[in-house]
Structure 1
Amino acid sequence: MMLQCFALLSDDALSRFINYGRGALQTLEGFHAYGKIMLGVNLDACAQLCLAETSFPCASLDCVFVKSSRQLSQYIAANMYGIRTDFDPGYEVMHYELIGMLSEVYRIVQKVCLHVY
């Protein structure tokens, strides 16, 4: 049997997330959507921290560019009634969600392909 490898995924942490575009998790009264908020951390480092988080299962992150704020959450937009997009002009925020188990299958294939070729 011959293994054929057509494309390899990037190994950077951010490649493990889907960018849902401009927006953030909805704010729900009396409910804390974010398990951790960090300031001054670049986006890729934030993605790495989300992947390494042990105090809660990190499933998404919101990146507020104006404040250099990174917000980690165990929730995805589907759990929080969607993504909020009604922000003031100039307030830029992007929502990212961890790619599911399918990405793990691709990573295994990637490692096999790298060893074969």
Structure 2
Amino acid sequence: MRKETFLQTKTIEVPAGTASTVIRSEVKLNSSYERCTGVAIYPIKQGGLDAFRVGLEDNGGALLQVTHQDALTADKSLPFHDRFQEVDIPANGHTVKINTQFDQQTTEKLVYDFVFRLTRTLKS
């Protein structure tokens, strides 16, 4: 049996002038795939922030502890599958929350893509 990979992307946008806070964004993972095996972020606009932190949770609690953006930022110089932080989360329509945390006010729009690497087993 071979695995098929699908990338599901959620773009996170935080308006300029947003005070220090935690922003939660819900995502329903694609129901055609069995597992989420990796996550990565691709920053687009830094929001005027020195740094921000990102985590992942569901109703059962933390799936990925809130961590510095650099720990999850995809290194484009690496081979494709090495760009992701390894996780093992059910997909199958599972709803997860992306938590974006920052300690200062945004001076411009903060934008980044949160990418889920989903897999399913294909029967040959």
TM-score, normalization: structure 1? 0.31
Name the larger-Rg structure: 1
* Larger relative contact order (CA 8 Å, sep ≥ 6): 2
Judging by fraction of residues, say which structure has more helix: 1
Give the structure-2-normalised TM-score.
0.30
Larger strand proportion of the pair = 2
